[in-house]
Structure formats: structure tokens, C-alpha cells
Amino acid sequence: MRHTLSPDEQQLESIDSVVVSLTAGFDTDSATQIRYAVEWYWAIRDTPSQYPNSILVANQLKSLNVDATTIVAALLGSDVSSSRYSTEDVKARFGVEAATLVDNVRRLNEFEVVVAGSEAQQEGAASRIGTHDRAEMLRRMVLSMVGDIRAVLVKLVFRAQRLHILDSLPPDRAYEVAKETLDVFAPLANRLGIGQIKWEMEDLSFRVLEPQTYKRVAKALEESRAAREIYVRDFVSTLEAHVVKAGFDNASVFGRPKHIYSIWKKMRNKRIEFQDLFDVRAVRVLVDSVQACYTVLGVVHNTWQPIAREFDDYIANPKENGYQSLHTAVIGPGGKAVEVQIRTRQMDREAELGFAAHWSYKEGRQVDEQLQRSINTLRQLLDDDAHDDASLVEDFTQQTTSERVYVFTPKGDVVDLVNGATPLDFAYHVHSEIGHRCRGAKINGSIVPLTTRLTNGDQVDILTTREPSPSRDWLNRSLGYLNSSRARAKVRAWFNVLDHEQHLADGRAILDRELRRAHSRLPLERLTRAAGYEKTTDLYVALARNDITASQLATVIGNLESPRLPEQMPRFKGPVKSSDPADGISVQGVGSLLTQLASCCKPVPYDRIVGYITKSKGVSVHRADCLNMLNLTEEHQARLIEVEWGQESSTMYPVEILIAAYDRQGLLRDVSTVLANEKVNVIGVNTESDLENQMADMKISLYISDMEALSGVMDKIRQLRNVQTVRRIL
């Protein structure tokens, strides 16, 4: 049965209109090849609705300035075409080059079909695409890039088109496709500099993964659209007049389109609201030369006041994917911030089309150096023995992000690192042995902690010892020693070769520490099974190797420790209703109610919690292990109600921790420094000293955002000299 056509597809119903659209601008021989490919596809175009229409894929590729062979590959590379036409058929009609490219495209598309049609999916299982599957997709795409990068370009456009028809998929499968797109395909499009496809994939995926957040940002954009368009139009008119006056009659000045995913990322990363963004009102200026870019920048800064620290020169310092532009932000009329991007027309073309802007295959030239460096960098990921599937996916994401930091070795060589890298990341990047033997570092001649984040232009000098001796704390992400998955993989590999007995001892120590922290007496067999291991010794080894992290173990313990409520306790049934979103609590079964966090146990996200319906103050939210809740009489147990943490809460929660340490001068100062660096708001400190035993007990009340942040703060305090234990007060 033929699927229902979308409006875009209905416009393509005439084969003649399709041929005219796809062959425009090509020579006679290329146009003939494309016409034959259209006719082949037209004969079998009754495509299942869950797969993109290849004609739409070919049209989008045409807009990217591709050659005729790539369009043929788009029309004949889908799973539908592969079931009808063999590679030998394609070779006989279209030649060796087209057949090879079609075969590469089919291999990439074939992998997705296999995943989509797995036995688990056929049984309706709501599983997510595994890390192994993403890693295998990465390997195939990177290897395809080495052979012919056009295959990856076709695959990216197939994925972009598929996102438009996610509504035809089951919700679980739609989620998987969108998640995989953000994890694998959008970063790859970014690495290749194809902004047009990157933005499209990010926005469409975000709409599926975070529908409520997507609607919130889209609504904020829509509500301010009319006023924003008027403001931008007036700003453009004024700027255009100044640019023309400066002698650039042919400059193009226009408002820049908004991308919902990028707006949300900036709101999240900078922890600001929509109205505080600088680039909601954005303008772009296109000129003919680099010199003109800087002249126009001067015009902008002379006309409006620039905003400090909002200027980026990506012309002098291009991004890793080749992106070039001048970015600045100014205070426009009415005191409103406006972002201005200034670039040449060629830079704008390259920002939208990436490597396709230089399409070298038409003339048979070699791929340009910038693209070749990108391919070589990604290929190195496959050659690194330290990479397992999980670290490969993570390192790929880090490698493909546009945020990089460039530092110098003592000899003046430039080292490219992931944004947020530390001296320890630098050491492992230079050589594994240097990382293993690292014991200190100098940045610009000054000794600094190994957790110091590097910035562009830093000169880094690593201090080493004679014998390698990495620390297991380097694998603890909350401590901030390593930010590169590649470096963590090397540390993990070093520990994996240690003696088995040492693994058992180290893992047992980690488990004992976490059980003490949680005041837990769980049977080890039960905890082992909950963590996914058959034997307790396997769990010890996994903890020692950091296959399961301390924070993950703490989550397992917390889930198991949540008390079972009495069987006679009534259960409210019905849909989940939300209370005031500011509270960040969802109350089940009773509609919207006032909620408040109990002061007796101070719950924070994502503690296991339970609600208690009070007589006059709505629902009081307690930790599930709160003694007041455990000791309720049968009469009061009837007031208990199920509650859960909401998805988006920016609320801070009070919590108390107890630090036991050998007393020394400067202890309180060091603890305060950690809390200040972590941007923790302290609301009370009480210190008691035992002069006889030279011990100090420090009780600190602070505000925290969630359990992950609390765990990170406690880990950092535990690293301080003389600190023995750090635990949360029950």
C-alpha cells in the first residue's frame, strides 16, 4: 500500500518536474545519468512511510552543490532501491564510481534498518539503541569518510529527512532515532562544517527528546516575534546606512534565523533565562573581503556600545571545522542587546555547506587540507586500542564539538584539546607514559593543581616522577582531574592490568566507603544483583576498574534502601498532575496542590521521596527514609501520597553534611575554598574540636541543586588533607 504523501512529496509527483529540478545546472551527460536514476527510483517509489522519500533527499543534496554521482547514490542507495537493484546493476548502467558510492551508502543505511528491525523491537521492547550500536555506526561512517566522504554526506541528509517523519514511528523508536541523531549525526555534521544540516537535525531531534522544553522556547520566540522583527528591521536599516556610508554599497545586512536547540543550550550552559540571551536579536553582515569584515566591525562598534567579553574573532582563529566569522554583541536602541555576525560571502557559504562548498570531486582534485585533517582526527579514534565502545562514542562527541582549547608545549608546539581539559588531559594527550608518571604541572611558569582548566594560549609543562603511579581518583569525574574520555580510557587500561587481588581490595574499600556514607546495611548479595553482577567479587573488580562508578553505586544503594510502605497503606490511582512548577514536585492522583519540602529531613533531587497531606499546608514532601514518616501511626499513614521530582527545577535545596577530620590550622579555610569554587551557598557552619584526640567535627548547612552536585562537593572535600569522612546527616 502506498503511503500518504506530504505536501512536499505531492509537489514531486510529476517525474518531469523531478527531473527538471534535479538536473538544473548539470551538463548533458550528468543530466542523463540523473534522469535514468529518477526513472529507476520512480518505478519502485512506493516507500514505507517510516523511511524518507529519496527524491526529497536528492533535492536537499542538490541544494548542497553536490555532483551528479552523489544524486544518483541518493536515489539508489536507500534500502528500498537496494532490494530491487543490485550493485552490479548500478555498475552496468552508471559506472564503477557510482556503483561504489551507492554500495557505501547502502551499507550505512543497511545498519540502521538492522537496528530498527531487531528482535527486541519486533517484540515491542522499549529499549534504547545501545552504546555498541552507536559505536558500530561511528566506525562505519568514519571508514566511509576515508574512502569517499560523499557517502557520509548522503547518509546525513537521509537522517535529516527521516526526522521529518518521526510521527510515523512508535514513540520509543522515534526517541531512539532522535537521541542517536544528537549523539552521532549532528556532531558529525558540525565537524564537517555543514551548518544547514546540523541546525535542522538538532531542532527536529530536540522536539522529540524534550517536547515540553521545545514548546517553551518556541513559545517564547513566538511571543516576542513581532516586536523582535520590528526591532531587528529598524536595526538593520540603521546599520545598512552606516555600512553604505563607509563605502560598502554591495554589503548584505539581514536578520539571522533562530535555532531553538542552540537557544536552549545557551540558556542551560549559562544558566540564564530567555530574555537574558544576547543573540535572540541577531543580525548578519556579508561583505566581499576579509578587510571589509574588520572595517564593518569598526562601524558597528563606533555606532553602538560593544558588550565586553562578547567578541570572538573566528577569522583569525577559525573553529576546528573551518568556520570563520566575526561575532560581537552591542547595546542597541532601547538598551537591548543585539548580536552581529560579520563574514565574507564565501565564509557564509562554507558555514552552511561545509566541505561541499569546495566540491572537489567535480574536478577530481584531492580533498582540501582542512577536511583531510578532520578525517584523520576521527580515524585516529578507531586506531586507539584504549577505546571501548562507550569511550569511543564519548570521545567522538568531544572531538566533533566546536568548543576546543589550544595550548602550547614548552617547545612551542600547539596541542588541540577538548574544552575544559586539564594539565592531566594534556599529559595523556602527549603520551600515555607521561600521563601515568604525572605528579604536577606548570601553566605559564606557575605550579597549579592538576584540576586546573586550561585556556587558549596557555603553555603547559608536566612534572613527572620516575615510576608510573596513576591515582584512582583521576577516574572520578566529580573531582575534575580528567575531562577527556580518551585519557580516562588510558587510566582505566592501566588499572585493568593490575593484580586481581589488588582489584578486590580496592573495590571492597570503595564499596565499604559508600555503604558507610549511606548508613546502609544491605546484604551484599542483594546489592550485587541490583548492580547487575552475579558475584560480589565481580562487583569489587568493576568498582576498582571504574566500570561502575561510586556515584552509580550510591544510586543503586539509595534505590534499595527506600523503605517499603505498609501494605495497608492506601494507594491513589490516576494520572500524574503537576503542582506549581516552581516547586519541581509532581503529586500523583489528586490534581494541583501546594507542596513544601520538609525541614526535618531536607530532601533534594533525586532522593526517594513521599508526600504527607497536612491539614492546612498542602503536601509536605519528605525523604522516604525520614524517621517521622517511618514512625507514623496507622491513622496518619492514610495521609501518605506518592510524589516524584519534576523534570525541570531550578530550585536550590537545604542539606547538612558532617565532616570528620584531624584538626589543623587552615582546615575551615580549605573547606570554605572548595565550597566557594563549587559555587555552593553556605547557610551555616558549626565546628566542634576534640582537643584530646585532635579531631574536629564540622557540621555545614548549605543549599544544593541535586544529589549529583552534592556527591561532587563531598568528593572534593574528602580530598582535602586530614579529612577522614564526609557524610550527609540523616
* pLDDT average, residue stretch 270-290: 81
pLDDT value of position 589: 42
Whether the Cβ atoms of residue 197 and residue 156 lie closer than 8 Å to each other: yes
The whole-number pLDDT of residue 259 equals 84
Mean pLDDT of the chain: 78
Q: Kindly report, residue by residue over 288-308, the tens digit of the pLDDT.
A: 999 999 999 999 999 999 987
Evaluate whether 708 touches 551 at the Cβ level (below 8 Å): yes
Start-end of H helices in 312-437: 345-353, 369-383, 389-400, 423-430, 432-436
* DSSP summary character for residue 6: P
Residue 350 has pLDDT above 90, yes or no: no
Q: What distance in Å separates the CA atoms of residue 488 and residue 425, rounded to the nearest whole number? A: 9
Under 8 Å CB-to-CB from 46, ≥6 apart: which residues? 1, 2, 3
**C-alpha–C-alpha distance, residues 488 and 428, integer Å:** 9
Apex 553 CA angle, 548 and 557, nearest 5: 155
2 pLDDT above the threshold of 50: no
Report CA-CA distances (Å) from 58 to 71, 72, 153, 156.
5, 8, 11, 12
SS3 590: coil
Surface-to-core class of residue 280, CB atoms within 10 Å of its CB (0-12 exposed, 13-18 middle, 19+ buried)? buried
In 170-322, which ranges are continuous DSSP H helix?
171-180, 186-191, 195-209, 211-223, 225-245, 260-270, 290-303
Q: Which pLDDT band, with edges at 50, 70 and 90, does 672 fall under?
A: confident
Q: How far apart are CA 165 and CA 668, in angstroms?
A: 58
Taking Cα atoms as reference points, which of 543, 646, 544, 539 lies closest to residue 586? 646
Q: Using pLDDT thresholds of 50, 70 and 90, give the confidence band for residue 3.
A: very low
Per the CB < 8 A criterion, the answer to whether 671 and 690 are in contact is no
Angle (deg, nearest 10), helices 536-545 and 485-496 = 130
User: Model confidence at 436, in pLDDT bands (50, 70, 90)?
Assistant: very high
List residues bridging with 340 in a β-sheet. Answer: 283, 328
Q: Residue 589 has what DSSP assignment?
A: S
Q: What type of residue is 598?
A: A
Peptide linkage before 481 cis (omega within 30 of 0):
no
Confidence category of residue 245, pLDDT binned at 50, 70, 90: very high
Cα 99 off chain centre by: 36
Of 345, 284, 293, 346, give the one whose Cα is nearest residue 316.
293
- 32-41, 239-248, 505-514, range with the lowest pLDDT: 505-514
CA 110 – CA 315 distance, rounded (Å): 40
Digit-coded pLDDT (tens) for 703-717: 887 666 787 788 888
**What's the rounded Cα separation, in Å, for the pair 473 and 312?**
36
Instruction: Give CA separation, 197 vs 7, 157, 624, 625, in Å.
Output: 21, 7, 47, 49
| All three cell numbers of 602 | 531536607
- Residue 659: strand pairing partners: 698, 726
Answer yes or no: is pLDDT of 4 > 50: no
Top pLDDT among 610 and 583 is at 610
3-class DSSP assignment, residue 699: strand
Other beta carbons within 10 Å of 506 = 18
**Most trustworthy range by pLDDT among 26-35, 409-418, 486-495, 600-609:** 26-35
Give residue 376's pLDDT band: very low, low, confident or very high (50, 70, 90). Answer: low
Task: Map 707-725 to HEC letters.
Answer: HHHHHHHHHHHHCCCCEEE
Is residue 656 within 8 A of residue 728, CB to CB? The reply is yes
For residues 305 and 331, the answer to whether their CB atoms sit within 8 Å is yes
Rounded CA gap, 667 and 673, in Å? 10
Could you tell me the three cell numbers for 499? 593484580
Answer yes or no: is pLDDT of 150 > 70: yes
The HSE-up count of residue 509 (CA atoms within 13 Å, CB side) is 9
Confidence band, pLDDT 50/70/90 cuts, at residue 252: very high
Q: Given this model, what pLDDT does residue 293 score?
A: 95
| Single-letter amino acid, residue 401 | T
As a whole number, mean pLDDT of residues 667-696 equals 84
Q: What are phi and psi of 48, to 5 degrees?
A: -55, 145
CB 503 within 8 A of CB 541: yes
Instruction: Please name which of 436, 421, 430 lies closest in space to residue 490, comparing C-alpha atoms.
Output: 436
**Which helix (H) or strand (E) segment is 610 a member of?**
strand 609-613
Cα distance between residue 640 and residue 635, in whole Å: 10
Edge-first strand listing for the sheet containing 609-613: 595-597, 619-623, 609-613, 640-641
Query: Is the peptide bond preceding residue 261 cis, with omega within 30 degrees of 0?
Result: no
**Which stretch, 353-362, 496-505, 555-564, 639-648, has highest mean pLDDT?**
496-505
- Cell numbers 529519496 label which residue? 54
227-231: Cβ within 8 A, 24+ apart: 228/280, 228/281, 229/255, 231/281, 231/332, 231/333, 231/334, 231/336
Cell of 480: 575534575
CA distance 104 to 144: 7
Closest CA to 484 of 392, 621, 363: 392
Q: What's the CA dihedral at 634, 635, 637, 640 to 10 degrees?
A: 170
The residue written with cell numbers 490534581 in the block is 591
Rounded to whole angstroms, the Cα distance separating 180 from 134 reads 7
pTM: 0.58
DSSP for 290-306, written as a single string: HHHHHHHHHHHHHHSEE
The per-residue pLDDT for 360 is 44
* Residue located via cell numbers 545519468: 33
pLDDT band, residue 235 (cuts 50/70/90): very high
Say which residue, 124 or 445, is predicted with more confidence.
Answer: 445
Closest Cα to residue 56, out of 152, 141, 159, 144? 159
Answer whether residue 383 shows pLDDT above 80.
no
Residue 707, phi then psi, degrees to nearest 5: -65, -35
Amino acid 586: pLDDT: 57
pLDDT reported for residue 7: 45
How many other CB atoms sit within 10 Å of the CB of residue 717? Answer: 20
Domains (range + CATH), the chain? 7-192 (1.10.3210.10), 218-354 (3.30.460.10), 403-496 (3.10.20.30), 500-561 (no CATH), 576-645 (no CATH), 653-728 (3.30.70.260)
Which of 355-359, 460-464, 487-491 is the least confident region? 355-359
* Cβ neighbours, 10 Å, residue 183: 19
Q: Which is nearest to 34 in space by CA: 53, 45, 21, 46?
A: 21
